[in-house]
A and B are shown apart, each in its own frame.
Chain A
Amino acid sequence: MTDATALTPATRARSLPKVKGRAVVMTLYLLFLMLPIYWLLNMSLKTNTEILGSFSLWPQNLTFENYVTILTDEAWYMGYVNSMIYVVMNTVISLAVALPAAYAFSRYNFLGDKHLFFWLLTNRMAPPAVFALPFFQLYSSIGLFDTHIAVALAHCLFNVPLAVWILEGFMRGVPKEIDETAYIDGYGFGRFFVKIFMPLIASGIGVAAFFCFMFSWVELLLSRTLTSVDAKPIAATMTRTVGAAGVDWGVLAAAGVLTIVPGALVIYFVRNYIAKGFALGRV
């Protein structure tokens, strides 16, 4: 890290090519990341005959037909709507229950607090494959199979612990004196929490919401197992492209591109907290 700011003449002379080396490394790495995504985008703008007929690095006959197919066919776009509904439900539920809990963990010692905190973590780490079948039976038996709320609740399994851990990480950074001053000033817990404390950790809430949204959005196994028609997520809808006449590559690619959009739209706002969010608020 010293090379860019090196002060002594001797190191500066040597550091010049090194700075270039850095740029080369980063360019190569970013290229490696972008190539497969570019290829997906490239394919989504081609017709199937072009995809299968000839090999080209960019679309020869640019077409948006694949996107039109998705945005006009109800079976397709309802996949996105369904996913959005359960993802938003899940984010709201997760944050609503995680906020007070994270406050308790960050401020108080209470009976069994450490065990509880650890137990939450184990749920974040639990393999969805273990839960797929029991969830199916649980939600079928209470009549919630193929509803949005079933998927939203199932995703709470890993999103609630995630939200608690992230929020706790942000809350511990807020000095305790603020709480005490507010109580002395006559604020009750509820009013203090909403009026004073929540604005203080607004960025933490944003980050937690982003990660709940994201992990619910990217998950497929549970959402596919718990739905059949009415709440079918886009991820499961994508299997529709495999038909009797082979795979409809263009539409498949277009559907894939559209699933990347929501994440790509908001990533800029949380860029500095990505590491913190993935590390459960611990960086």
Chain B
Amino acid sequence: MQQKTTNHKAWFLVLPVLVLVAFSAVIPLMTVVNYSVQDTFGNNQFFWAGLEWFQEMLSDERMWNALQRQLMFSGIILAIEIPLGIFVALNMPKSGFWSSFCLVVMSLPLLIPWNVVGTIWQIFGRVDIGLLGYTLDALGIDYNYTQDTISAWITIIVMDVWHWTSLVALLAFAGLKSIPDAYYQAARIDQANRWKVFRFIELPKMMGVLMIAILLRFMDSFMIYTEPFVVTGGGPGNATTLLSIDLVKMALGQFDLGPAAAFSLMYFLVILLISWVFYTVMVNLDKKGM
């Protein structure tokens, strides 16, 4: 890593970013803080409520249930996407036309607007007109994502795997490509088998990018909103109401500003914590010069 010089005038260069992001992040966040400690009877008359909303939310089953579903969702998709992504990366052609071809096709789902991703799977899974739903139905499997909880869960999980596994694969592939050939030659001399090459060369060398992949996937799945909302709308019942869906329902649907704000802040604190882990990982990677 290059040596940096100390120059406090560099602040002028970051000032535009600071002003812009402060405008679009700090002001709204302060509004949220404001709502979280006040109550209203309408007519824009607010009065101090202290930490009431936080207490109410913490003892509210609704938030805990949403959190539980959220953690389950994030856990399942990580458990599928990370190994599958690594597996795909290991099987990707390393160079030439087919490598580019795979890169382009694999990137395609990543560039589709999120509501269209939802729409695609909403159609794909329908029993009457969707290929997936129709096929499963023809095979005699009881599948209906609008009424059956398990079907709904399978649909949103397969959708997320479809949408984001490529990201993990692309990152792992980038990590694999950075391994010098000498490592493989050394392994050949030592007569290491395929598993040992993976375990002792590829996996340790990929660890950095994999950490990034895991954190990114965790964060993004933790705040997922559009895709499951389009497919299931949070249903059947509340079965697929994840944190963001619940929050938007509360804030924009029911206009429960106080509880929604308290909810938002606690949500944000979790995100902050994970961001910090992410940042620490990044800084350590930079130090190692990866």
Contacts and interface: CB of A to CB of B under 8 A. Distances in A.
A137 B255 CA distance: 12
A267 B120 contact: no
A175 to B, nearest CB: 7
Chain A CB within 10 Å, residue with most, of B23, B174, B209: B174
B162 to A, nearest CB: 7
**SS class, residues of chain A in contact with chain B:** helix
Chain B CB within 10 Å, residue with most, of A26, A214, A274: A274
Contacts of B28: 131, 134-135, 138
Interface range on chain A (Cβ under 8 Å from partner)? 35 or more
A26 B119 contact: no
Interface range on chain B (Cβ under 8 Å from partner)? 35 or more
A130 B250 CA distance: 11
Contact of B21 (A43, A55, A161, A172): A161
B110 A100 contact: no
A121 interface: yes
Chain B CB within 10 Å, residue with most, of A5, A34, A52, A275: A275
Contact of A26 (B2, B91, B113, B212): B91
A123 interface: yes
A97 B104 contact: no
Chain A CB within 10 Å, residue with most, of B8, B100, B120: B120
A26 B105 CA distance: 11
B119 A256 contact: yes
Given A7-B188, A126-B271, A220 B197 contact: no
B17 A4 contact: no
B252 to A, nearest CB: 6
A240 to B, nearest CB: 13
A164 B17 contact: yes
B103 A225 contact: no
Contacts of A103: 13
A68 B94 CA distance: 42
Interface in A113-165: 113, 116-118, 120-123, 125-138, 153-154, 156-157, 160-161, 164
A213 to B, nearest CB: 10
Given A218-B114, A225-B252, A129 B7 contact: no
A91 B13 CA distance: 19
B8 A156 contact: no
A146 to B, nearest CB: 16
B167 A278 contact: yes
Contacts of A97: 16-17, 20
Nearest to A130: B264
Given A40-B120, A128-B225, A1 B202 contact: yes
A104 B102 CA distance: 36
B134 A274 contact: no
Interface string B1-33: 111111111110110111011011101110110
Contacts of B173: 275
A9 B225 CA distance: 53
A268 B235 CA distance: 38
Contacts of A132: 248, 251-252
Interface string B93-119: 110000010111111111111111001
Interface stretch (A59-67, A194-202, A257-265): A257-265
A122 B271 contact: yes
A41 B118 CA distance: 15
B106 to A, nearest CB: 7
Contacts of B14: 100-101, 104-105, 116
Interface stretch (B53-61, B125-133, B144-152): B125-133
21 contacts: A2-B184, A7-B188, A37-B108, A57-B131, A93-B20, A96-B16, A97-B17, A101-B17, A107-B10, A113-B10, A129-B248, A130-B268, A132-B251, A133-B251, A134-B27, A157-B21, A157-B25, A253-B123, A259-B112, A263-B108, A283-B212
Given A36-B162, A176-B2, 11 more contacts: A36-B124, A36-B131, A52-B129, A107-B7, A122-B271, A125-B275, A129-B251, A132-B248, A218-B112, A256-B119, A268-B100
